[in-house]
Amino acid sequence: MIRPHRVGVMNIPVLAGVSWLRSARALSGELVDVALAGGVIAQVIPATGTRLPGDEDLSGQVLLPAFAEPHAHLDKALTASRAPNPAGDLLGAIEAMQGIAGSLTHADIVARAEKAIRIHLALGTTSVRTHVNVGGPMGMRALTALVEVRERWRGLVDVQVVALVSHPMAGQAGQDLRRALKEGADVAGGCPHLDPDPDGAVGICLDAAGEAGVPMDLHTDETLNPRKLTLATMADLVTRTGFPHQVTASHCVSLGVQDGRTQQRVSEAVAAARIAVVALPQTNLYLQGRDHPAATPRGLTAVAALRQAGATVAAGGDNLRDPFHPVGRGDALEVAALMVTCGHLDPAAALESVTAAPRAVLGLPPARIAPGCPADLVALPGGDALEALGAASAHRTVWRAGRVVARTTVHAEISSPRQAEPSQLEGAAR
């Protein structure tokens, strides 16, 4: 059952340049007409049945806020065929990517990143935070490529670039991070759980982010090893230092294997530090648990404990057909469905985890179907939001700032069962 909340109705004088979306099904279940003007939602009213030239008829479709992707790897996207990962685990994936590093030219990275952006946009995602490998064999090559991509897509898809440095953070990686933040990265990143000094690595990253005045988003505890819990260190450091920028902890797998009391204690510290957590079900279901053939753990973070403590929990797609996750459609509704199936969220919360929550992670204004909110929207077939989420048709229309920026049409032709002859029907009745 989708939780009902009423559609906001506000009478705003109709402006020149207004466009109307007619008879759309809102999350609440109500049928509404929605006026767009000046890049925002100007008016939401109960459906009137009006159809004027230029109106968009959304009968039979559900209208949702556009999706936001809080955690992608556009520099690695679409390399699965080139970089097989037979082990299927995290280290196998890292080695597979290192094996093709030489072929990852500037042009190759730009082409794949832009293809991945088009896949996301067609399915309704208008903002993407991507981590980009910095240092080691990649140097600054992927960062330069993604900064170029970010600038080219500005106004159509918001791209944020996180400098994902290697380790040890106390050595070259820390210097790489500072350089990347000077050369165009928007957010400080890293993988403290792989560092010889995980807690120290968190501190170095936080210092670098603070000096640059940018948010921090770390790959955090992407392991089932319960002894690695840098999330607790992160919460403690952020609270003690009063770090003023947004902090995100991505993955947080090991929190999911702690006992209930530890989950609660750490989740409360995370919420108090205002750290947002990004769950990444596809990649973690794929990579984690391969050495646990019985009662295989899911590799998800402690979604329920974090939400119970009041922390923001967003969900992302992470890897799009690369050695870290060789399948996937780049669809936020695929992620939301996994948050229902594996994260045990109710459908409304699952939709929130790919809309409102990631927008908060990215520092974007909230998007709802309500007056004054950005007209970043997606419509797709469904009698209600649950059906739209469950079926996840690729048939979608996507608006950015009130303008249609993607339209995918799905046309199916399906045979009906043959009409039985009257004599056969009689025979069957006997």
Taking the least distance from each CB to Zn ion, the nearer of 150 and 219 is 219
Q: What is the SS3 assignment for 126-177?
A: EEEEEEEEEEHHHECHHHHHHHHHHHHHCCCCEEEEEEEECCCCCCHHHHHH
List strand residue ranges (DSSP E) for 166-315, in order: 187-188, 216-220, 247-251, 275-279, 313-315
Least Cβ distance, residue 222 to Zn ion (angstroms): 8
Q: Which residue has the tokens 């993407």?
A: 128
Least Cβ distance, residue 200 to Zn ion (angstroms): 21
Using CB under 5 A as the criterion, what x/- string covers residues 263-302 for binding Zn ion? ----------------------------------------
**DSSP symbols for 385-407:** HHHHHHH--S-EEEEETTEEEEE
Closest residue to Zn ion, Cβ-based?
318
- For the chain, the distance separating the N- and C-terminal CA atoms, rounded to the nearest angstrom, is 43
Taking the least distance from each CB to Zn ion, the nearer of 317 and 371 is 317
324: helix, strand or coil: coil
Taking the least distance from each CB to Zn ion, the nearer of 39 and 137 is 137
By CB under 5 A, the residues from 299 to 338 that bind Zn ion are 318
Least Cβ distance, residue 250 to Zn ion (angstroms): 6
Least Cβ distance, residue 318 to Zn ion (angstroms): 5
Using CB under 5 A as the criterion, what x/- string covers residues 101-140 for binding Zn ion? ----------------------------------------
Tell me how crowded residue 30 is: count the other CB atoms within 10 A of its CB.
16
Query: Which tokens belong to 63?
Result: 């209208």
CA distances from 374 to 31, 41, 71 (A): 20, 6, 21
Least Cβ distance, residue 182 to Zn ion (angstroms): 23
Tell me how crowded residue 95 is: count the other CB atoms within 10 A of its CB.
14
Cα–Cα dist 300/33, whole Å: 39
Taking the least distance from each CB to Zn ion, the nearer of 176 and 318 is 318
Least Cβ distance, residue 323 to Zn ion (angstroms): 12
C-alpha angle 240-280-208 in degrees, rounded to nearest 5: 35
| Size of interface with Zn ion, in residues (CB under 5 A) | 1
Taking the least distance from each CB to Zn ion, the nearer of 2 and 145 is 145
Least Cβ distance, residue 341 to Zn ion (angstroms): 21
Taking the least distance from each CB to Zn ion, the nearer of 116 and 386 is 116
Taking the least distance from each CB to Zn ion, the nearer of 219 and 396 is 219
Taking the least distance from each CB to Zn ion, the nearer of 253 and 380 is 253
Least Cβ distance, residue 164 to Zn ion (angstroms): 7
Closest CA to 393 of 406, 410, 376: 410
Binding residues (CB under 5 A) for Zn ion: these are: 318
